[in-house]
Structure 1
Amino acid sequence: MNRLARPAARRSAPRRSTTRRSTTRRSAVRTLVAAAAAATLLVGCGGGKDDKAGTGKPTGNAAAPAAAFPVTLTNAWGRTEVEKKPLKVATVSDGDTSIALALGLVPVITPDAEDGGPVPEYKQRALTKLGAGKPKTYDDTDGTDFEAIAAEAPDIILGMNTWSMDTDYAKLAPIAPVVTYTDKKHADTLTWQERLKNAAKALGMTAEADKVIAANDKAIGDAAAAHPEFKGKAYTYAVVHPEQLTFMSYADQDPGVFEQLGLKKTAKATGYNAEKNSVSLENLDELEADVLLMTYPFGDNGLLSASELETNKLFQSLTVVKGKHYAVIPSENTLSSAVAYPDALSFPWIVEKLTPLLAKAVAGT
């Protein structure tokens, strides 16, 4: 999993600024890839009109034959037995909601990841494609609302993207079969493809998951092919957290979308890791690269604002800044959080939005 918006101590951004979006936390191109992104939603969400919002029923030909069940999956807390094709799906994180929507399922209940605010563009696209309104939600300010989930009588509960399963599993399992990771460390380490595939097994939708992955691969492959100038450009990605300026593209950090588009980490990346990733204002030259990407997901709660950094004389002296090979990845439209935690649903939208920003930074415009 790409954890670009989190420093080593697993400090969390505000809710809309991070996203793999655990339910226990509240504080925290277009021309070329749009067709591929739309194709992903079409493949992942299904195109049929026979689905009713909130039923959890798959659209199109998503239904699995009865012979595919029962399904038994092991997890870090026991075994999950799925006796028959699940129709009513509940989710315990926004990332799990993305899995369901990517597979063409509208959950019967989800955590309120938007805190009552607007739905992110990529999610709204999926809901519109499915002919659905905003799914029913529960307030997860104090954690998972087990009573709200139980009241919807789900056939299955998706928990592939939550950090709270160690405490939640015992309360969720009596409600419905819980689909989650096989090792507790997988809360951090699984890729979005692995999370999608594991959930799809329990849903009898492995073929649909493969199609989503293939469509997403095509979206980023097409974008990279359209921008050969990205190939081999060294980049630094830094995030302004409340307590530090964080060098997030350290050597063993997941490659993420940037490197799939052709960029590579700078040589300085070897000097940073998950436990050592703070850059002092006296050492801003550590950010030097062919391309510098910054994000400010904490807004006024960050260590410093964009204007404060950009008027810093040392920052202004950087070759990458003077050459205008510098870009800010916005957080207001949820792009910075989506980049940090890409999932099956957001991935093509990330490519669509990020590619033109990178093109301008590489070109120095």
Structure 2
Amino acid sequence: MTRAASTSRAPRLIALSSAALLTLGLAACSSDAPAEESTSAAGFEPIVIEHALGTTTIESKPERVATVQWANHEVPLALGVVPVGMAAANFGDDDGDGLLPWVDEKLEELGAETPVLFDETDGIDFEAVADTNPDVILAAYSGLTQEDYDTLSEIAPVVAFPETAWGTSWRDMIHLNAEAMGMADEGDALVTELEDEITEKAAAYPQLEGTSAMFLTHVDTTDLSQVSFYTSHDTRAMFFEDIGLTTPESIATATASTDLFALTQSAEQADAFSDVDLIVTYGGDELVTALEADPLLSQVPAVANGSIVNLPGTSPLGTAANPTPLSISWILDDYLELLGAAADNAK
């Protein structure tokens, strides 16, 4: 549906872009404009960022920052910048206000009103993005198509994912989005701060060190003939290594032949996961019961030993297992406690 939206709205956006450029051009030529305005960005060096969908050049320091798709707005917020528009939360939003709790808390801390929230239920709302009149659009963690990117680029410079759709680590999300804002040094400092926090808190759970873990996607307990799991390209699985867990060889091998962030495998090949000590997944007690009762999946060491962390998938707790700049600090203590208990069973 996103592609269809891209095609139908592109002509209007091009027209909007042209009108905006004409307006800006006339304003720049006005003799009434103060001289200092034309030199306000004199010290700014143009930023050139290469990514999977092209090369983006940002000629002047962005003042109005918009973000699309998941969590990109958390970078400017973490750096004290309130976006003019951002995607509404469509997963894990337990109170229905379009904001995840760590985002709500940050806006309150900054004394800021809620920005324009883009409804991305059916894809990017290009017209809503254009209406916020952004100077830059951040999407370093995203699944933008080339068509999405081209359409958004008619509005403002866009920073897309560096290599793999939905495969940008939280570090690279911060680095790229911060760089696009002209705040690379601040982004580096934020990464260091979060790394130090993770290292300090994970040290209290030595049982995690060297324990192999896989992340199952949402499991259908009525049909366990297939199992789906996140590959090492997915940020949930990447985060395991940040906290001392290791990637099973079975997952690493499966990942090596694809750029997808999730794969599905027949339960008849469950013996391939004989190197999995711990499983994280979304579900409840009924999921654990189903896995333990299944004649094939029950043989996976993590299942046999009861080393399963089953997160409530639609809650903030389950959502935050996908690490983002603001959610890491919000979830880390609870997440480590759950993982530590499961790792105890694996030993």
In 1, the alpha carbon distance for the partners of 2:263 and 2:152 equals 36
Asked whether 1:131 is paired with 2:111, we answer yes
Q: Give the distance between the partners of 1:240 and 1:79, measured in 2 at CA.
A: 36
The yes-or-no answer on 1:71 pairing with 2:46 is: yes
TM-score of the superposition, structure 2-length normalised? 0.71
The 3 A distance-change label for structure 1 pair 205 and 307 is same
In structure 2, relative to structure 1, the CA distance for the partners of 1:265 and 1:94 (3 Å cut) is closer
Partners of 1:293 and 1:329 within 8 A in 2:
no
Q: 1:81 to 1:240 in 2, by over 3 A?
A: closer
SS at match of 1:90: strand
Aligned to 2:64: 88
Q: CA deviation at 1:360?
A: 0.8
- In the alignment, residue 294 of structure 1 is paired with which amino acid? V
1:180 pairs, out of 120, 138, 160, with 160
Report the AA paired with residue 247 of structure 2. K
CA deviation profile, 1:200-227 (whole Å, cap 9, x unmatched): 2232212221221011101110122111
Contact (CA 8 Å) 1:249, 1:265: kept in 2 or not?
Answer: no
The one-letter code matched in structure 2 to 1:325 is S
Q: How many residue pairs get matched?
A: 294
Q: State how far apart, in whole Å, the 1-side matches of 2:249 and 2:84 are.
A: 48
Superposition pairs for residues 120-269 of structure 1, below 5 Å? Answer: 120-181=100-161, 185-240=163-218, 244-248=226-230, 256-269=238-251
Aligned to 1:12: none
Does 2:293 align with 1:311?
yes
Is the Cα–Cα contact under 8 Å of residues 236 and 289 in structure 1 kept in the other structure? Answer: no
| Aligned equivalents of 1:171, 1:249: Cα separation in 2 | 30
Question: When you count helix as a share of all residues, which structure comes out higher?
Answer: 2
Deviation at 1:345, TM superposition (A): 2.5
Gaps of 5+ in 2: 4-39
Question: What residue is the counterpart of 1:97 in the other structure?
Answer: 73
Name the aligned partner's letter for residue 342 of structure 2.
Answer: A
Name the TM-score, length of structure 1 as normaliser.
Answer: 0.68
Q: 8 Å contact 1:73–1:79 — kept in the other structure? A: yes
| Superposed counterparts of 1:2-151, under 5 Å | 66=41, 68-75=43-50, 76-83=53-60, 85-114=61-90, 117-118=96-97, 119-151=99-131
Secondary structure at the residue paired with 2:192?
helix
Does 1 or 2 have the higher relative contact order (CA < 8 Å, sep 6+)?
Answer: 1
Specify whether residues 158 and 267 from structure 1 end up closer, same or farther in structure 2 by C-alpha distance, changes over 3 A only: closer
2:117 maps to a residue whose letter is T
| Alpha-carbon distance, 1:256 to partner | 1.6
Q: Secondary structure at the match of 2:244?
A: coil
Cα deviation, 1:127-165, whole Å, max 9, x if unaligned, reads 222223432212223322222222222222222223225
Distance in 2 (CA, whole Å) between partners of 1:326 and 1:205 is 40
Q: What are the superposed Cα offsets for residues 60-97 of structure 1, whole Å, 9 maximum, x if unpaired?
A: xxxxx9454142324444542332x3222111223221
Question: Structure 1 CA distance, aligned partners of 2:164 and 2:300?
Answer: 38
Higher CA-based Rg: 2
- How far, CA to CA, are the matches of 1:270 and 1:70 in structure 2? 40
Cα drift, residue 356 of structure 1: 0.6
Distance 1:216 1:122 in 2: 15
1:278 matches 2:264: yes
Match of 2:309 among 327, 344, 348: 327
User: Could you tell me how far 1:307 is from its partner in structure 2?
Assistant: 4.1
Match of 1:295 among 281, 290, 307: 281
- Structure 1: gaps of 5 or more residues: 1-22, 25-64
What displacement does 1:267 show?
4.3
Distance (Å, rounded) in 2 between the aligned partners of 1:226 and 1:272: 31
Q: Distance in 2 between matches of 1:100 and 1:166?
A: 24
CA contact (8 A) 1:96 1:160 kept: yes
2:77/2:106 contact within 8 Å kept: yes
Pairing partner for 1:353 from 323, 329, 334: 334
